[in-house]
Amino acid sequence: MEIKVAGQAGYCYGVERALRLTDAAAESTRKPIFTLGPIIHNPQVVESFVARGVNPIEQIDEASSGTIIVRTHGVDPLVIEQAGEKGLAVVDATCPFVAKAQQRAAELVRDGYNLVIIGEKEHPEVAGILAHARGEATVVEKAGDAARIKGRKPLGVVVQTTQSMENFQQIVAVLAAKVSEIKVFNTICSATTRRQDAAKKLAEEADLMIVVGGKNSANTSRLAQICRATGTATHHIETAKELEPAWFADVNVVGLTAGASTPQWLLKEVIAGLEEMRDV
């Protein structure tokens, strides 16, 4: 059995930056240390930071002193103000691509556009973008949702950074047909696009795909969706312990990719697990 790893897999710049900032905070004396939600959507990484005294919380009121780390997905700017008012030190680990989407959303609303955010309604990144737009936006998840939007003018569009290019283009096409003026900012992270393209290409060559990353990770789940869409059997796992020998019966080529919040050590463990199965 041949094991092939996608050309783009694992940590992106925004995640690496957030983890560097969190690591530095963990070594500081300004304790206790909290993250607003999990710093990234990877349970194993979050657990490693908890062991070092960096604990996720859901609300700013849960912290009365110490340091608050804003996770990669960003937050409502009012939350950062509240942290300052409480005397908390703030480390802003918002991904730069997410910050750009927040900025574009605010600009469009300020300039009088009716804003559409393409993304998952319940995702924290989308919630943060919506907050930067003062709540004056409609969130659209798929082309069918866009079809129900009334032809208000003019329309402005931003997109969740981990969305697929295909979904983004389909929705924009529907919206553009409804209005005479539309201003679109493609705020998809370039690393996301490269990772998705590499996963799709590999899935087309492989007999089976393994996608490694948090089950709560939107970008990892989207990689699995993209791989399945090629017709190749695909399994989304978090760790090597989830590998099932029965999956690999009659498999000549297994492809492997990982989400933007998946550390290399987890990816290497899965590769080692696959090699053990191959060598049995």
CATH number of 2-10+190-279: 3.40.1010.20
> pTM here?
0.86
Pick the CATH number of 97-184 from 3.40.1010.20, 1.20.1250.20, 3.40.50.10170, 3.40.50.2300: 3.40.1010.20
Domains 2-10+190-279 and 97-184 in one fold: yes
DSSP secondary structure of 27-44? TSSS-SEEEES-SSS-HH
61 vs 82: CA distance, rounded Å:
9
Residues 105, 129 contacting (CB under 8 angstroms): yes
CATH number of 13-95: 3.40.50.11270
Q: What pLDDT score does 151 carry? A: 72
Active site residue 204: no
> pLDDT tens, position by position, for the chain (280 residues)?
999 999 999 899 999 999 999 999 998 867 899 999 999 999 999 999 999 999 999 999 999 899 999 999 999 999 999 999 999 999 999 999 999 999 999 999 999 999 999 999 999 999 999 999 999 999 999 999 998 888 767 999 999 999 999 999 999 999 999 898 999 999 999 999 999 999 999 999 999 999 999 999 989 999 999 999 999 999 999 999 999 999 998 899 999 999 999 999 999 999 999 998 876 5
How is the chain split into domains, by residue range?
Answer: 2-10+190-279, 13-95, 97-184
Which residue among the candidates 120, 125, 141, 238 is catalytic per the annotation? Answer: 125
Residues 225, 257 contacting (CB under 8 angstroms): no
